[in-house]
Amino acid sequence: MNREESIQTYQEQFAAFEASLNGGAQSAFHAVRRDALQRFAEQGFPTLRDEDWRYTNFNPLTGTTFTPAERPEADAALRVTAEALATAMPNAPTLLFVDGYFMQGLSDLAQIPEGIEVRDLASALDDNALPLESAATAAATFRHNPFTALNTAFTRQGVSVTVRRNAVIEQPLHLLFLSRAAAGPFVAHPRIVIDVQENAQCGIVEQYVGEAGAVYFNNVVSDIRLGENAVLHHVVMQDESTAAYHVGANYVSVARAGNYGNHYIGLGSSILRNGIHGVLSGEGAHCTMNGTFVPGGTQHMDHFTVIDHAVAHCTSHEQYKGVLADETRGVFTGKIIVRPDAQKTDAKQSNNNLLLSETAQIDTRPQLEIFADDVKCTHGATVGRINDDQLFYLLSRGIDRAQAGNILSFAFASDIVSRIPIASLRDGINDRLYRRLEESWKK
Amino acid sequence: MLEIRNLHARVEGKEILKGINLTVNPGEIHAIMGPNGSGKSTLAGVLAGREIYEVTEGEVLYRGQNLLELDPAARACEGMFLAFQYPVEIPGVSNTYFLKAALNAVRKYHGEEEYDSFDFLALVKEKMKLVEMDPSFLNRPVNEGFSGGEKKRNEILQMAVLNPLLSILDETDSGLDIDALRIVASGVNKLHTPDNAAIVVTHYQRLLDYIVPDFVHVLVNGRIVKSGDKDLAFDLEAQGYDWVKDLEEPTAETV
């Protein structure tokens, strides 16, 4: 299938989707969908000639025809399947999505804490119940990202989470996405809309799991808004099937004195592209973007982050750590924009990578665009191998090479996990990370 | 226990060891002394299995097997222990985790049951008393931010936990003040039994006031040029290494 044919396939899917909407096609949001489809049809998937996409070849995406899965029956066994594949997130009420569909009946809706409102996105869109500004945000974002345009054209499945003003929620909310082999090759366009209102605080964990060998294309978009003095700890555990394609796009805006933290753990998928676009739009806002990615085999993981310091006195900390084995490829792009009025900006960025084989490859590029003169911006990137002295020290104590290598690479990567502010999540994530790295060292 | 015969080794093409002969029996403590660059640390490194050293001639028998065929981890599991001259810092790995992984690796090698966290902690706390270490060191990353003395005490703690048959202490005294030296030496002495042996590599006689060797060997230019009892160390201290530097061939039978 070539480029034009793949665009045509999605246009045909859109026609069927539109027909299935019935009354939903009259909603205010549907006009946005049509615009988005038009935009996608003009652009198609990005190519290596697009500067922001030049390290990731999406040809495999057009080589397979992905069609939307059927909505699964609400069978309790699905929850069991999902939890068997997933890392346990203790004390976190779970919202379950299967093959792209929100399974309300299999979700812990009754256990959602006071102060959080969870809505099925499909009905919210049909009822025009989403604030109009969400539609405006959606329209603004898809202009720059064909995947977001495609998601927007098909936006229906997903969830809207509102954390009410002054609500401080101890329990994190767990969004668990299960993708099954029998449903593939399917495409899903989940959309997550998160609104943390003034003075509110909460944690949200997105977790993606797939059955072994499942082939699918998960094209996720998150729209995240933090009100004044709001805090969101956003953890993403990406543990998709290694035959899957995962594209994520997160659009975040942080108001005055708000604090947004994104903690990304990248383990799965054949090709990953995760974008985070954070705008610090009120003074005193802070943003943390931390991530670790540990590809093995022939996995390809591309992280593209933008932190836009739009006003003065904002801070951002970013650290990404990659451990790359076998014939994998990693990409890290860290763009930091400091607008002319954003004096006293304090931005720190680092990207550290550990290559475990001769054939693993990393492209790392800091991109600083600074238009203010009284700012502090630091960035650094390192690419290295396992330290021989450290390795020998462990060997000399009787620890074999595979375990020693694993101990050292785990220590390197789990540094990111140790910074997740929700302590109850760390042990489970560390266990999974350790086992994933063990696979790389057993070969 | 250990028999080194005509050992030659080089690093980066340069020959450092030029025919070492040494026999160590259970219950013995051997001191190897020598000036800088004489090959002391190379000998320790070759015995522990560092890859940068290339053995070009000779053989090393350890408890009846060819030591040079064992990888470093297997040597450790077979009861060899090297106390490093410069202990390595490992950020992100706690001392407890490291010690437990090491002890369990050795136990697993011998088909013994692995320690659980509870039993391990009891064991390690007992051993820490030997080197007067505070239990707070257990939660800190391996050697990171440790002072010189703390690092060396941490080496002896590892030795105590792993309970080796043959310990090689590579300049464990260097850089230590007298209090730390006393603690380290006392730890080594308490761990010494008629069944195990130690090779103490040092530049200075001072350590031997605290760890009394059965034999002293003087290593110069890649060869053992003189062997004797502990009095040899005093002679060296009094007369300096120049006294032995000119000796071409061993003047005493190597033991």
pLDDT in tens, B111-155: 999 999 999 999 999 999 988 888 889 999 999 999 998 999 999
Residue at B250 is within a domain: no
Q: Are strands A186-188 and A201-210 parallel, antiparallel or unpaired?
A: unpaired
What per-residue confidence (pLDDT) applies to B254?
47
Which residues in chain B have their CB less than 8 angstroms from residue A407's CB? Answer: 93, 97-98, 101
For A227-299, list the strands marked E by DSSP.
231-239, 245-254, 259-266, 271-280, 286-293
**How many DSSP H helices and E strands does chain A contain?**
10, 20
Residue at B253 is within a domain: no
Query: Mind spelling out the 3-state secondary structure of B205-250?
Result: HHHHHCCCCCEEEEEECCEEEEEECCHHHHHHHHHCCHHHHCCCCC
Q: Are strands A259-266 and A286-293 parallel, antiparallel or unpaired?
A: parallel
- The C-alpha of B142 sits at a distance from chain A's nearest C-alpha, in angstroms, of 10
The answer to whether residue B249 scores a pLDDT higher than 70 is no
Non-local CB neighbours of A42 within 8 Å, separated by 6+ positions: none
Q: What is the mean pLDDT of chain A?
A: 94
pLDDT in tens, A321-365: 999 999 999 999 999 999 999 999 999 999 999 999 999 999 999
How is residue A35 written in tokens? 């615009």
Q: Of A60-64, A152-156, A253-257, B23-27, which range is least confident?
A: A60-64
CB A177 within 8 A of CB A190: yes
What per-residue confidence (pLDDT) applies to B193?
95
Find the closest chain B residue to A415 by CA distance: B92
Query: For residues A251-260, b (16+ Cβ closer than 10 Å) or e, as one string?
Result: bbbbbbbbbb
Bridge partners for A332 per DSSP: A303, A364
Q: Which of B93, B100, B169 to mutate to test the interface with A (most CBs of A within 10 A)?
A: B93
Domain count, chain B: 1
How is residue B49 written in tokens? 């299995």
Residue at B228 is within a domain: yes
- Do the chains contact at B90 and A395, CB–CB below 8 Å? no
What per-residue confidence (pLDDT) applies to B243?
73
DSSP readout, B48-111?
A: HT-TTEEEEEEEEEETTEEGGGS-HHHHHHTTEEEE-SSPPPEEEEEHHHHHHHHHHHHHHHTT
Would you tell me how many other CB atoms lie within 10 Å of the CB of residue B25? 13
Distance separating alpha carbons of residues B238 and B232, to the nearest angstrom? 10
Element (H, E) at B8: strand B2-11
- The C-alpha of A368 sits at a distance from chain B's nearest C-alpha, in angstroms, of 30
Say yes or no: A88 contacts chain B, CB-CB below 8 A. Answer: no
pLDDT in tens, A233-251: 999 999 999 999 999 999 9
Q: Identify whether A185 is preceded by a cis peptide bond (ω within 30 of 0).
A: yes
A395 vs B72, B81, B91: nearest CB: B72
How is residue A20 written in tokens? 């299935």
Q: Which of A321, A393, A431 to mutate to test the interface with B (most CBs of B within 10 A)?
A: A393
Residue at B87 is within a domain: yes
Would you tell me how many other CB atoms lie within 10 Å of the CB of residue A12? 11
Average the pLDDT over A166-177 and give the result: 97
Residue closest to A224 by CA, chosen among A166, A287, A169: A287
pLDDT in tens, A294-325: 999 999 999 999 999 999 999 999 999 999 99
pLDDT in tens, B150-177: 999 999 999 999 999 999 999 988 888 8
Distance separating alpha carbons of residues B54 and B73, to the nearest angstrom? 18
Q: What is the mean pLDDT of chain B?
A: 90
Residue at B251 is within a domain: no
What per-residue confidence (pLDDT) applies to B255?
44
Q: What is the value of ipTM here, to two decimals?
A: 0.94
CB A227 within 8 A of CB A194: no
Distance separating alpha carbons of residues A67 and A393, to the nearest angstrom? 52
- Do the chains contact at B76 and A395, CB–CB below 8 Å? yes
Average the pLDDT over A45-67 and give the result: 91
* Residue B138 DSSP one-character state: G
* CATH label of the domain that carries residue B61: 3.40.50.300
Q: Which of B90, B109, B162, B168 to mutate to test the interface with A (most CBs of A within 10 A)?
A: B90
Non-local CB neighbours of A180 within 8 Å, separated by 6+ positions: A72, A81, A98, A99, A210, A211, A214
What per-residue confidence (pLDDT) applies to B18?
94
Task: Determine the Cα angle at B216 with ends B211 and B219, to 5°.
Answer: 120
**Per-residue CA distances from A164 to A22, A138, A150, A226, B114 (Å):** 32, 22, 30, 11, 50
A399 vs B88, B89, B101: nearest CB: B101
Residue at B54 is within a domain: yes
Distance separating alpha carbons of residues B70 and B56, to the nearest angstrom? 16
Say yes or no: B87 contacts chain A, CB-CB below 8 A. Answer: yes
pLDDT in tens, A77-89: 999 999 999 999 9
Amino acid making up residue B78:
E
- Do the chains contact at B105 and A403, CB–CB below 8 Å? yes
CB A167 within 8 A of CB A115: yes
Give A 356-395 residues with CB within 8 A of chain B.
388-390, 392-395
Q: Domain limits at B132?
A: 2-245
3-state secondary structure of A304: strand
Q: The tokens 């809207």 sit on which residue? A: A160
3-state secondary structure of A60: helix
Bridge partners for A331 per DSSP: A302, A363
Distance separating alpha carbons of residues A336 and A280, to the nearest angstrom? 11
